[in-house]
Each structure stands twice: as structure tokens, then as C-alpha cells.
Amino acid sequence: MRVAVLCDIHGNLPALDAVLDEIDQIQVDRIVVGGDVFPGPMPCETLDRLLALDVPTDFLYGNGELGMLAQLRASDPSTVTYWGTASGVPLPDPLKEVVRWTARQLTDRRHLFEDWPKTVTLEIDELGSVLFCHATPRNETEVFTRLTPEDRLLPIFDSLGVSVVVCGHTHMQFDRMVGRTRVVNAGSVGMPFGAPGADWLLLGPTVELRHTKYDLNAAAEAIRQTAYPQAEEVARDYVLQPPSEQSMVEAFTKFQLT
């Protein structure tokens, strides 16, 4: 069985379409969408595209989906303190309209994603039992990178009884061992840190960290044409010129597991 893993699409439909075109060419048996389909500039179009796939598809929630649901379920959205982080603080002013705008677009589609599971486990040829999650198997917001010391990760991964754990969340690909468990980050389809393009993962019979190139200028222009409150910032800073992996690893260090 060959499985494509798509994480952190963040409403970037042009990036998703480019990856799906490549997947069509290599013919996979299953797709796992590992959370954070949104927020982003084209949330409804992106969700609809995924739900229309003719390949069996598993969906997992990420902190993005839970942030949207927190807004949609609240009688007063201004009181919500979960907006994709577990910090417990109110939504910061710069993000208020991004989160609330995206949630408003999804009002009629809430039932399509509110029951997604936290994890999925599949048996994959040559790899064995593979567990899929968004950040870690126990938590959708925890941050770790390829440089996080192994001793901090062993309590999370070493007793799961699976061969491989696949995650996303930090938008950076890696493939490392934590004790006896292989931990692979699929990276981000819509907002990768590092080289511009779309990052994803192909499993079976090996582990392949994939990178798909697409028309970045056309994608940036399509994003600018949306009503997304930070359309220009997304087009410029995450599609055309994303942050370097090194800078983001350094930035994430202060949020890492301790």
C-alpha cells in the first residue's frame, strides 16, 4: 500500500492542486490529511477539493481545525481562548480577523470536520504499523523539531508500540529516530518553511520526503484576489519567500518540549 500524507495545507488551494496532480501520476492507494487544512485564504475551496477525492482519505484534526471549531461553537467568539494554541490567552489583535474570517467562511461546513479523530493508525508494507497525528500523539499543539533532544521525546514516542509516527504542525520535514520509533514530519503543503513549493510525504514501501514545485507567482496572485485579511502577507512571506528552515528551528526552540 502506498500512502500520501498531506499536512498543513492552510487554505493554499494552488499548492494542494499541484500536489494532487503529482499524486495522480504516481497512483497512491490512500491519502492521509494530517490537520490544519485551515485557517488560510481559500478554506472552503480547499476542504471541498479534499472531500471530493476519489482515493480513500483519512482526515485528522489539527490545532487549526480546533481553533475554527472553538470560534464556531462559542456564543460570543470574543471570549474564545483556544485559537490554535493551548496558551489560554485571548486571541491577539493581529490574528483576530484572520481566525474569525476563516471561521465565518466555514459556518455551513462545520459538520464536515468537527468529528475528525486525533490519530489514525495504518499498516503499510515494509514499514509496519504507522501512527498519524498532527503534532504529537498526545497533543495537537506540542512543538518539536529535528534538533529536539531525544530524552525529551522518549516519554511521548517510545511506548506507542508502532514502527513509525508521522506528524506535521511545524511546517518542516524531517526523518529521525526517537528510541525505537521512526518519527517523520511530512512538512507543509501550503506554507512550508524552507524552499518555496509544497512539501508532503509518500509512504510505502519506503519513506519519501517529497517537494512539489508549482507556479508560485500565479498562486500568490490567486491568494491576493481573495478576501483573506492577510492575503498579501501570505502571498509574499509564505508562498513566494517563506522563512528559512534554520530561522524557524531557532524560533521554535523556545516553544519546544522541556
Question: What CATH number is attached to the domain comprising 241?
Answer: 3.60.21.10
What's the CA gap between 109 and 114, in Å, rounded? 9
- Could you say which DSSP state residue 59 is in? E
State the CB neighbour count (10 A cutoff) for residue 185: 28
The predicted pLDDT at position 141 comes to 95
Question: Which residues of the chain fall short of a pLDDT of 50?
Answer: none
Question: Which pLDDT does position 214 carry in this prediction?
Answer: 98
Tell me how many domains the chain contains: 1
Q: What is the pLDDT of residue 173?
A: 98
> Is the entire prediction scored with pTM above 0.75?
yes
- Are 20 and 45 in contact by the 8 Å Cβ rule? The answer is no
Give the pLDDT score at 86.
Answer: 84
Burial of 56 (0-12, 13-18, 19+ CB in 10 A): exposed
pLDDT of 147: 94
Predicted pLDDT at 258: 54
The pLDDT of residue 166 is: 98
- Residue carrying C-alpha cell 511521548: 156
Quote the domain boundaries for residue 79. 3-255
